């Protein structure tokens, strides 16, 4: 795994009821096409608490995997601007999570930045989060095992990411998630999504 190279983390948290049944998810994308993803239920929490849980777990996992520089991308404007120091953290429960996230961020040796993105740009983490809420959480590998996999024998997802652009994998993951949720997907529609990643034949 490349050290001191920037990774990107897409994070998402959701609560059905706010407060209600909550879950978090995040996806780490490496500069060499590496992909690590995680999703888990949290019990009863608010949306904002779940968003912070996603950030906190992404930061902790990044540290465990030896990632130094990280760009956090989230569709939670509140969380992003609080971490950037633009918004104050007035809620007591969020303040504790905010301070935990700051401490976790400090364990990474490289720079950390925060970017607010539209929900459409965060579809993979959003899909993982909804799967967890629906009782279909993705496996959560042991951090030590994950690190060894990323350094030696890759998982199928890691191997695919080494060959194909992360954007292509995210596009396919999103399409599969839509099909699982019952949305129609035509061949023409899928072809349009894949077009940016396909090269014309000779």
- 22 CB-near residues (< 8 Å, 6+ apart): 13, 14, 15, 16, 41, 42, 43, 44, 45, 46, 47, 49, 50, 53, 133
Residue with tokens 């699982």: 180
Residue 182 backbone zone (phi > 0: left; psi -120 to 50: alpha; other: beta): left
Confirm whether pTM is higher than 0.75.
no
Give the whole-angstrom CA distance, residue 79 versus residue 131: 22
Ordered strands of the 35-45 beta sheet: 35-45, 20-29, 6-16, 69-74, 112-116
Q: Do the Cβ atoms of 49 and 17 come closer than 8 Å? A: no
pLDDT (tens, 9 = 90+) of the chain, 202 residues, equals 444 589 999 999 999 999 999 999 999 999 888 889 999 999 999 999 999 999 999 999 999 999 999 999 999 999 999 999 999 999 999 999 999 999 999 999 999 999 999 999 999 999 999 999 998 755 455 545 445 444 433 444 444 444 445 556 666 667 766 766 677 777 777 777 777 656 555 4
Q: Tell me: domain 6-162, CATH 3.30.420.10, correct? A: yes
Domain spans in the chain, listed from the N-terminal domain onward: 6-162, 164-202
């Amino acid at each position: 795994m490349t050290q001191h190279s920037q990774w990107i983390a897409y994070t998402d948290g959701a609560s059905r009821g706010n407060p209600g049944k909550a879950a978090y998810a995040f996806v780490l994308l490496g500069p060499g096409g590496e992909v690590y993803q995680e999703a888990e239920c949290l019990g009863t929490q608010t949306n904002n608490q779940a968003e912070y849980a996603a950030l906190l777990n992404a930061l902790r996992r990044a540290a465990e995997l030896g990632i130094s520089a990280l760009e956090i991308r989230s569709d939670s404007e509140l969380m992003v601007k609080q971490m950037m120091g633009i918004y104050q953290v007035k809620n007591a429960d969020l303040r504790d999570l905010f301070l935990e996230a700051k401490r976790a961020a400090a364990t990474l040796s490289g720079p950390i930045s925060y970017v607010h993105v539209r929900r459409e740009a965060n579809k993979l983490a959003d899909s993982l989060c909804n799967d967890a809420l629906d009782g279909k959480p993705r496996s959560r590998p042991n951090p030590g095992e994950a690190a060894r996999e990323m350094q030696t024998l890759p998982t199928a997802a890691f191997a695919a990411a080494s060959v194909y652009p992360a954007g292509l994998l995210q596009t396919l993951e999103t399409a599969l998630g839509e099909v699982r949720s019952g949305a129609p997907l035509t061949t023409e529609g899928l072809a349009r999504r894949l077009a940016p990643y396909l090269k014309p034949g000779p």
